[in-house]
A and B are shown apart, each in its own frame.
Chain A
Amino acid sequence: MCNRVELEGVLISSRGLRYTPAGIPVFEGVLAHRSTQTEAGAERRIEFEVGIKSLGECGLRLAELPLGAVIHCTGFLAARTLKSRTPILHITELRHMEGKEHG
């Protein structure tokens, strides 16, 4: 079944990097999105925040970005945990658009 998300947003929070027992880096954070979209023929402003998770190479790159960085990413949605079924975005591809300087 199709599960592909393409999204741009600002990295607004990071829980830093951790590693799985097998040594794979895991990044978790929150991405904020703000844009204008067309709905039923009318333009509207939208805003939301979404939990993100990224493993491996992509996760390492995310961990190096400062908060406030704007990224373009693709990935898929998956449940946060077995118990919490709300989805988070798993990022598998990443492009750094621009960002605040560190600090």
Chain B
Amino acid sequence: MNEGMRRVQVLLPFPGEGLFDYRVPEAVVPGQIVRVPFGRGAKLGIVWSLEADPSVPDERIKAVEAVWQGLPPLVSADRELLEFTARYYLAPLGEVVAAMLPPALRRRKREPRTAKPDTGGSAMPAGLLPELTPGQRAALEAVPREGFSVTLLHGITGSGKTEVYLRLIADCLARGRQALLLVPEIGLTPQLTERVRARFSSARIVCLHSDAPASERSAAFVAALRGEVDIVLGTRLAVFAPFVRLGLVVVDEEHDPSYKQFEGVPYSARDLAVWRARRWNVPIVLGSATPSLESWAACEAGRYRRVALSARASGQPLPTIELIDTTQTSAEEGVSEPLARAIEETLKRGEQALVFLNRRGYAPVVCCGHCGWVSRCPNCSVNLVFHRDDGRMHCHHCGHREAPPRACPECGALDLRPIGRGTQRLEERLQALFPQARIARIDRDAVKTLPQWETLLEEVRAGQYDLLVGTQMMAKGHDFPSLTLVGVIGADAGLYAAEVRATERMFQQLMQVAGRAGRAGAPGRVLIQTEFSQHPLFRELAAHDYAAFAGRTLAERRALRLPPFAFQALLRADDEALEPALAFLEEARSAARSLAASEARPIRVFDPVPMRLVRLARRERAQLLVEGDHRPALHAFLERWAGALRELPHPRSLRWRLEVDPLET
């Protein structure tokens, strides 16, 4: 070994464990960012451990290419975050570190230049602060500023949760600490971003999200590693941003499923944020008008504190929620007479109305009325959705598009019909009902980029539209001062879906979208069209009683031993055909049964079944669920099972992955 050099393990972004031995100068410490030769190229990595494998002969160990000495080493708390993530989600460490190191930084050949000494201007809030409501004051008093604690800030829509976050962040910055603020989707929350920037105009703020330019993400990572950042604001991937003086974590809209990563390592950013806060021994605030039942149950169990904001900051009452029973009233082309009348009255008063339909496109399927043929995706087990704007049929799962056939492929009939209703068709209907109204359709087809979205939000606020037709994009934290009526169409789908969290999602979505009504001036009104007006969910919704909904649903889940009263992991396998996927899962089940038998606590191993959406992008998919009532026992089992799974032979074309705490089973 060369003079002054030592052998260390370096963690590289790699589809596997990712730990490789290299020689580094003696002075190098764990956490140091290094560039190392790898294969015919080079990789960026993190010095992981000073323990290296002595069995490998020295001459086979390469020296690192460069130590990026201008960058401080990643602190141990954040190295442990990577280790925890790998352990908890049973993912190889090399894949976890890939989630942390921004791709653009990994491609750099040279170390980023040392930034000019940053004096870090005053991080004090700018301008006149709005007066706090009594609820906000009480909430601020209730959240501890030091030490680890989890607070669920349950604030009704429009109650001013953001102001509470901003005050907490101000306190955190005043103590010279850094704050992490996670939001579900940056594109959907430009208002929040603006407010943070406006409030802390001289603070160093970085925005981390997957749509940010690669160079920006890379620069943000470097700045964060150097501690030259006061506030990290970002989507789920920001949970891996490095910190030096973390003092506060805030997770806004903590119930939002977009905190869950689906590709690569399937982590939950909200859950990792809680772990991180505990490791840094700092407070974390989870905010929502409709908390996840996991967080609600944690409050009931006394693990989280609960702080309620139960009045709207504007002093406005919550909107009234009424049901329109579509078994009694016909709804021509989806819009019932009472809803049409309410829209007309709203428009007459010069106020805005929103009609919510969480289905984009023109019609969810094209059918032949003569033989029953339906437009199916050639790659997936779903129907193709007809879109009016480009006149094509789209698969919303794999992206396949094709022109609608001129004649039915089965019987040759020409009269094919779009059946059902998406936002485009609803827009057409509303325009026919209200020819004078200026209508904006707000869904992922109409709004594709962040600037488009920001412009549209601005135009809506400026009153350039009278009537909005929107999907769940409209349901998240927006303030539209003249919006006073919300109509909901096609909400029933969630009521009887065979999915544990379907009603939870439905309730959250309806409550959020209802919360758009009447936030500023006039009182709001919400009309929901449903065939199931007697369902308790609607009663709880009309009473704005989240606690009743949560109580009833948690009781059901407890009785059925479903999450959060049981812990789950889901093994999914997919292949070109279903049989090999099921066969692999059968083997996996045998392995699981024999391992589970030796566990002290019961692990329930279910049968392999085809997934509901069995065919996706030409792959046939099946799944196997395992459950335990005790998390450590389940994890002990999962670690051994994952090891056994790696040894299981399978066709090359088969892929499998194990997901801990799946959101959908």
Residues of A within 8 A of B (CB): 20-24, 26, 53, 55-56, 78-79, 81-82
Contact = CB atoms under 8 A, between A and B. Distances in A.
Nearest to A90: B415
Contacts, number: 36
A20 B414 contact: yes
Contacts of B406: 22, 24
19 contacts: A20-B415, A20-B417, A21-B391, A21-B393, A21-B404, A21-B418, A22-B404, A22-B405, A22-B406, A22-B416, A24-B406, A24-B415, A26-B414, A26-B415, A55-B414, A82-B369, A82-B370, A82-B371, A82-B372
B415 A79 contact: no
Contacts of B371: 82
A23 B391 contact: yes
B366 interface: yes
B386 interface: yes
B132 interface: no
Contacts of A22: 403-406, 416
Given A81-B370, A82-B371, 8 more contacts: A20-B414, A20-B416, A21-B366, A21-B404, A22-B404, A24-B414, A24-B415, A82-B370
A21 B374 CA distance: 13
Given A21-B393, A23-B391, A79-B370, A53 B415 contact: yes
A55 B414 CA distance: 8
Contacts of A23: 391
A78 B393 contact: no
B117 to A, nearest CB: 63
B402 to A, nearest CB: 11
Q: How large is the interface on B (under 10, 10 to 19, 20 to 34, 35 or more residues)?
A: 10 to 19
B634 to A, nearest CB: 49
Given A22-B403, A82-B370, A82-B372, A56 B414 contact: yes
A72 B554 CA distance: 69
Interface string B363-405: 0001001111000000000000010000101000000000111
Interface string B341-370: 000000000000000000000000010011
B385 to A, nearest CB: 11
A94 B372 CA distance: 29
3 A-B pairs with least C-beta separation: A21-B404, A22-B406, A22-B404
A79 B368 CA distance: 12
A20 B404 CA distance: 9
A55 B370 CA distance: 15
Contacts of A55: 414-415
B409 to A, nearest CB: 12
A81 B416 CA distance: 11
B367 to A, nearest CB: 9
A81 B391 contact: no
B387 to A, nearest CB: 9
Nearest to A79: B370
Contacts of A81: 369-370
Interface of B: 366, 369-372, 386, 391, 393, 403-406, 414-418
Contacts of B404: 20-22
Contacts of A20: 404, 414-417
Nearest to B372: A82
A23 B418 CA distance: 12
A24 B403 CA distance: 13
Contacts of A24: 406, 414-415
Nearest to B405: A22
A21 B386 contact: yes
A81 B411 CA distance: 13
A55 B407 CA distance: 11
B17 to A, nearest CB: 51
Nearest to A55: B414
Nearest to B403: A22
A79 B415 CA distance: 12
Nearest to B375: A21
Nearest to B407: A22
A52 B563 CA distance: 57
A23 B406 CA distance: 8
A79 B366 CA distance: 19
B352 to A, nearest CB: 31
A56 B406 CA distance: 11
B415 to A, nearest CB: 6
Nearest to A18: B417
Contacts of B414: 20, 24, 26, 55-56
Contacts of B415: 20, 24, 26, 53, 55
B364 to A, nearest CB: 12
Q: Which of B366, B370, B386, B414 has the most chain A CB atoms closer than 10 A to its own CB?
A: B414
A87 to B, nearest CB: 12
Nearest to B367: A82
A68 B437 CA distance: 35
Nearest to A26: B415
A30 to B, nearest CB: 17
Nearest to B413: A78
A68 to B, nearest CB: 26
A60 B414 CA distance: 15
A88 B417 CA distance: 17
A57 to B, nearest CB: 12
Contacts of A21: 366, 386, 391, 393, 404, 416-418
A78 B414 CA distance: 13
A76 B318 CA distance: 60
Nearest to A56: B414
A3 to B, nearest CB: 14
B374 to A, nearest CB: 11
Contacts of B370: 78-79, 81-82
B129 to A, nearest CB: 55
Contacts of A56: 414
Nearest to A53: B415
Contacts of B417: 20-21
A78 B369 CA distance: 11
A47 B617 CA distance: 56
B64 to A, nearest CB: 60
B394 to A, nearest CB: 12
Nearest to B368: A82
A64 B417 CA distance: 22
Q: Which of A26, A53, A82 has the most chain B CB atoms closer than 10 A to its own CB?
A: A82
A53 B417 CA distance: 14
Nearest to B369: A81
